[in-house]
């Protein structure tokens, strides 16, 4: 009799264990009717990823109950939208509170600690009349709200900086270029946090910045164990693909492609990984021609199981 009671007790715990094991997964599953495995699926179809618009560069807070992403409507500007999980339901995406009518806002990134949100913008600085070009801005989480944005200062204010992502140690990785160089000839750069200050900007080595154009949009792992970015290294015009490099004891491996299931004849760009490390997100887009002959870019955000993919890519690199 006692043995039967013990078995019954453990059986009653199974639903609880299953729920605890899948609660983080459920947050994201509430936006998609299917969770991906080894094939990318559109994320949040009809909610996050919508017809004719171009959505890209998605980021989540550590609890995965708040997200930001970029949306560009046909012939429109880049704008940052946000959604929150409230009572197990994601809110309808709306413009971020820090949005501006005077310029583009795009490519948001919440740092691993969840207390800073970085984004690129062409808005005016210091109430000037004209935009000073692309600059990186940030908001701070205060009393569960995002503060008014401020532009990043030196050494970032003195150069082109785009798609900035950060580590647990607040080291920053981003797209940049040398003075006078074309944007397509830029690459991936980084800056080390030195007790709250950033003194130098350095270009990553040839393992990352090897042959190709538009080497950009790097996502750095919170622990700096890998970096994912996109580049044009094919003969197909405007065909960006995603690449990964792993950090082995301070040395970066030669980059390798994320493979044919992710990299297609369309443009894959703007990678990020969910805070739990389980899912890779990226944008897949293409240029569309209208009846009057004009063109615009359209595309969606995709996601895929990153745990198994990362394992396979690491094995591939280690075997070379």
Tokens of 63: 């609890």
Residue given tokens 């910045």 in the structure block: 209
pLDDT along the chain (320 residues), means of 10: 48 41 65 93 96 96 97 92 96 96 93 97 74 85 94 92 97 94 90 95 95 93 98 73 95 95 94 97 90 87 97 88
d(CA 272, CA 53): 20
Q: Which of 152, 150, 189, 185 has the alpha carbon at shortest distance from 173?
A: 189
Could you say which DSSP state residue 57 is in? E
Cross-strand partners of 90:
85
pLDDT, residue 238, reads 53
pLDDT, residue 290, reads 82
pLDDT, residue 83, reads 98
By three-state DSSP, how is residue 292 classified? coil
Cross-strand partners of 119:
137
Q: In the chain, what are the domains?
A: 54-319 (2.120.10.30)
Q: Which of 284, 303, 165, 175 has the alpha carbon at shortest distance from 226?
A: 165
pLDDT, residue 213, reads 87
End-to-end CA distance of the chain: 60
């Amino acid at each position: 009799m006692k043995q039967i009671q013990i078995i019954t007790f453990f059986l009653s715990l199974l639903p609880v264990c299953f729920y605890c094991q899948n609660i983080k997964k459920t947050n994201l599953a509430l936006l998609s009717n299917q969770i991906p495995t080894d094939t990318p699926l559109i994320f949040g179809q009809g909610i996050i990823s919508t017809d004719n618009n171009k959505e890209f560069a998605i980021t989540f807070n550590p609890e995965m109950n708040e997200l930001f992403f970029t949306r560009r409507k046909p012939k429109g500007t880049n704008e940052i939208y946000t959604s929150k999980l409230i009572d197990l339901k994601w809110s309808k995406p709306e413009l971020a509170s820090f949005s501006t009518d005077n310029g583009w806002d795009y490519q948001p990134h919440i740092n691993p600690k969840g207390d800073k949100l970085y984004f690129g913008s062409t808005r005016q600085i210091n109430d000037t009349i004209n935009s000073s070009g692309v600059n990186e801005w940030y908001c701070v989480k205060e009393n569960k709200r995002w503060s008014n944005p401020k532009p990043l200062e030196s050494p970032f204010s003195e150069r082109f900086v785009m798609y900035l992502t950060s580590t647990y140690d607040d080291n920053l990785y981003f797209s940049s270029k040398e003075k006078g160089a074309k944007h397509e000839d830029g690459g991936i750069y980084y800056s080390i946090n030195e007790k709250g200050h950033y003194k130098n900007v350095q270009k990553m080595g040839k393992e990352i910045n090897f042959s190709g154009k538009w080497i950009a949009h790097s996502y750095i792992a919170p622990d700096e164990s890998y970096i994912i970015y996109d580049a044009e290294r094919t003969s197909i015009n405007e065909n960006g693909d995603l690449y990964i490099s792993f950090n082995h004891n301070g040395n970066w491996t030669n980059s390798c492609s994320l493979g044919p299931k992710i990299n297609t004849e369309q443009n894959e760009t703007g990678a990020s990984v969910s805070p739990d490390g389980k899912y890779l997100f990226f944008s897949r887009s293409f240029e569309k021609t209208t009846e009057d002959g004009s063109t615009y870019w359209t595309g969606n955000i995709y996601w895929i199981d990153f745990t198994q993919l990362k394992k396979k890519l690491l094995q591939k690199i280690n075997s070379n």
